[in-house]
């Protein structure tokens, strides 16, 4: 017989209580234990459980040896995880159980994390990135029950932290690269540049520096745009041809980095640079 509707806790459905080896107390799960105690329960050291039906204390196993109560439709003898069937599987690479189905995920040995098949060969690997805490909430990512979001730069955030971050900005808090695909945005800016002329008084103006040619920028206070005469990159090198157009603030920065112009005069600009969703499958 499966665990009754009222068995378990807010985290898991199960028909037993775990005997914590650290303090000798009974808890429905490790999360309930960690929330009540000032220390953490080591899931791998759990050796005994108590049946919630007949109260028999016994070794950790899937069924009660006294009343045959099923402690969990899913049971892992390594993690001692009991729960209803969520297509869970134990990943040897991660060292813990994940919510499946298993065939929808692959383990990236470099990132040390199970990822959706949609990210295979489409994400940037960072050594043991899942073993780092989330840079927003500073909580563990690897064992968290909240899914991880893989940014284009390869860094990880909790999915909920990623959603909160987008309300305030869109750059990775670690490397400051864009957390979104900016291709479409840059295309719109290119179209805007092509159709917006530079004010006549600033056309064809260049500033020669000691180490190379500089771009002349003009800040328009009315719409926060920047006007620039942009050297054109050709096969022969950086020539002094003029591209008379009106740049948005970010487009001017992007052009400056792409063309590797030595400097920008008149303004102190900060660099700007333009993911993959990881399903929640942590047990």
* Banded model confidence at residue 79, pLDDT cuts 50, 70, 90: very high
- Cα distance between residue 3 and residue 277, in whole Å: 33
pLDDT of 170: 81
pLDDT confidence bin for 82, thresholds 50/70/90: very high
- Per residue in 27-43, pLDDT tens? 999 999 999 999 999 99
What is the pTM assigned to this prediction?
0.62
Q: Which of 201, 199, 219 is nearest to 269 (CA)?
A: 219
Which among 270, 238, 252, 240 is positioned nearest to 196, based on CA atoms?
252
Asked if residue 46 lies in contact with residue 14, where contact means CB atoms within 8 angstroms, the answer is: no
Helices (H), 220-273: 249-258
Q: What SS3 class is residue 108?
A: strand
The more confidently predicted of residues 156 and 277 is: 156
> Contact at 8 Å (CB) between 72 and 84?
yes
48 in Cβ contact with 34 (< 8 Å): no
pLDDT of residue 198: 63
Q: How close are the terminal C-alpha atoms of the chain, in Å?
A: 23
Q: Domains in the chain, please, with CATH?
A: 16-83 (no CATH), 103-181 (3.30.40.10), 197-258 (no CATH)
Per-residue model confidence as pLDDT tens digits over 182-221: 777 777 777 776 776 666 765 665 555 444 444 444 444 3
> Quick one: pLDDT at residue 254?
47
């Amino acid at each position: 017989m499966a665990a009754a509707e009222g068995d378990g806790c807010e985290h898991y459905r199960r028909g037993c209580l775990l005997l914590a080896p650290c303090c000798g107390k009974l808890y429905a799960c490790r999360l309930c234990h960690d929330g009540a105690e000032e220390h953490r329960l080591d899931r791998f050291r759990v050796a005994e459980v108590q049946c919630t039906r007949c109260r028999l204390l016994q070794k950790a196993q899937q069924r009660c040896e006294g009343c045959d109560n099923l402690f969990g439709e899913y049971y892992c003898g390594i993690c001692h995880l009991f729960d209803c069937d969520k297509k869970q599987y134990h990943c040897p690479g991660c060292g813990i159980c994940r919510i499946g189905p298993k065939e929808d995920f692959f383990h990236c040995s470099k990132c040390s994390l199970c990822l959706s098949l949609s990210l295979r060969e489409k994400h940037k690997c960072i050594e043991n990135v899942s073993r780092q805490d989330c840079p927003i909430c500073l909580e563990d990512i690897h064992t968290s029950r909240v899914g991880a979001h893989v940014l284009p730069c390869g860094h990880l955030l909790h999915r909920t932290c990623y959603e909160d971050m987008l309300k305030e900005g869109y750059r990775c808090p670690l490397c400051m690269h864009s957390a979104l695909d900016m291709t479409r945005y840059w295309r719109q800016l290119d179209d805007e540049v092509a159709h917006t002329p530079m004010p006549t008084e600033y056309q064809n103006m260049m500033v020669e520096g000691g180490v190379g040619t500089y771009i002349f920028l003009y800040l328009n206070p009315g719409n926060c745009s920047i006007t620039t005469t942009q050297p054109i990159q050709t096969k022969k090198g950086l020539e002094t041809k003029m591209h008379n157009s009106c740049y948005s603030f970010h487009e001017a920065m992007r052009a400056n980095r792409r063309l590797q112009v030595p400097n920008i005069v008149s303004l102190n600009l900060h660099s700007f640079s333009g993911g993959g969703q990881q399903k929640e499958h942590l047990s």
